[in-house]
Amino acid sequence: MENNTTIAGEGRWAEFTYADANDPWWKKLLIAGVEHATGRGKIERMYNQIRDLNVHPTALWSLALQQLKVEMDLDRCQLEKVPKEGPIVFISNHPFGLVDGLMLAAIVAEVRKEFVFLVNEVLTRDERLKSYLLPIDFRDTKEALRTNIDSRDRAIERLKQGEALAIFPSGAVATARSWFGPAEEMEWKNFVIKLIQQSRATVIPMYIEGQNSRLFQMVSQVSMPLRLGMLLFEALNKMKRTIRVNVGDPIFIEDLEQSCKRPEMLGFLRSKVEALKP
């Protein structure tokens, strides 16, 4: 999930920002300035109202959607097809950045008690959610490589124990190729195939309908810091909306391996997700 969330500490005010602590000062200032101008304070107030409630940590995702007044429109009969036991990998397109992450986590929490979500490493700093999150570091550093290898190994281990895993295979929010073009899913990473094959997991494809605003698509053509600064605004502009989520049939590992060879698997799974688009 293309989402950096800095948590000040247990019981303290939680701050939401897409600025990384390792960013240059001017980049952090630019991102934070755009965020504050476009509603970051409102997002923080909403989250801080729910984060210390006496509820199970996995309830926080659905509570956050309630705070945003975002409703999910999905066929829950499809969720009944999800195997009750054994390793499961939920895969989805990534249209929004924050709201779709909340939606995916809320859906997985509805069908499985034991699960983990692969997310941007800064998001894992919330102690209440830490056991449900594994960090992915997108920086081009040796430290980031070590983090990602460790997360991969831990994810496979948890899958082999019969848990579920949720992941956006693109790792980045869908973006238009031009100022006025439609948003398109970014390139998927082969990382997800390693998780599925090594754990012998069943795959649940999902498609979340919608895209970010035209302003976001235009800004994305100009500046990465401005793009990041806009992402909290993109969460706020989904408020009071009903968003359709299409859940596909389970894809068992035996069927996947019979349908295509290893180099074709990523494209095959992406086609299954995109086939859910209306």
Least confident of 4-8, 23-27, 98-102, 175-179: 4-8
Phi/psi of residue 165, each to 5°? -135, 140
| Domains, the chain, with CATH or none | 57-210+241-274 (3.40.1130.10)
Structure tokens at 272: 């299954």
pLDDT band, residue 11 (cuts 50/70/90): low
Read off the pLDDT of residues 76-125 as tens digits, 9 standing for 90 and up.
999 999 999 999 999 999 999 989 999 999 999 999 999 999 987 656 66
pLDDT band, residue 12 (cuts 50/70/90): low
Read off the pLDDT of residues 24-71 as tens digits, 9 standing for 90 and up.
888 888 988 888 888 888 988 888 888 778 888 888 899 999 999 999
Q: How far is 77 from 223, CA to CA, in rounded Å?
A: 42
Percent above pLDDT 70 for the chain: 93
Instruction: Indicate whether 191 pLDDT > 50.
Output: yes
Read off the pLDDT of residues 131-154 as tens digits, 9 standing for 90 and up.
899 988 767 778 888 988 999 999
Q: How far is 153 from 203, CA to CA, in rounded Å?
A: 18
Structure tokens at 110: 């509805």
Q: How far is 31 from 224, CA to CA, in rounded Å?
A: 9
Phi/psi of residue 13, each to 5°? -65, 125
Phi/psi of residue 250, each to 5°? -60, 140
Read off the pLDDT of residues 227-257 as tens digits, 9 standing for 90 and up.
989 999 999 999 999 999 999 999 999 999 9
pLDDT band, residue 5 (cuts 50/70/90): very low
Would you give the DSSP letter of residue 223? -
